[in-house]
Amino acid sequence: MWFLLTTIAFLLYIQFSPGMGNIWYRNNEYFSPMGAVNVILFPLQNEHMWVPSMWDINYFIWILIAGILNYIINYGLI
């Protein structure tokens, strides 16, 4: 469940963030889900996405942090 919630939160953040935005509405298309897929997969193609200043738009960092938080919560460490 945490995986799905993290993915939805990431996609909403990317869609409405002032630095990125409009991943679903590009190139005069009304709805382009491939824009979201491309943003998710882009860190696998560009090493600059792993710089800490880019972590807020790196899907894999979101999943890593959410997984760690899920582990901590489930095992009662906080």
Provide the whole-model pTM.
0.82
What pLDDT, on a 0 to 100 scale, did the predictor assign at position 16? 84
Whole-number Å distance between alpha carbons of 61 and 24: 21
Q: Choose among 77, 78, 71: nearest CA to 2.
A: 71
Where are the chain's structural domains?
A: 2-24+31-74
pLDDT at residue 77 greater than cutoff 90: no
The kind and range of the H/E element at 56 are none
What digits encode the pLDDT tens for the residues 46-72? 999 999 999 999 999 999 999 999 999
How many whole angstroms separate alpha carbon 35 and alpha carbon 23?
5
pLDDT tens for each residue of 7-41:
999 988 888 887 777 777 666 667 778 888 888 99
> According to the model, what pLDDT value does residue 47 have?
93
DSSP state of 76: T
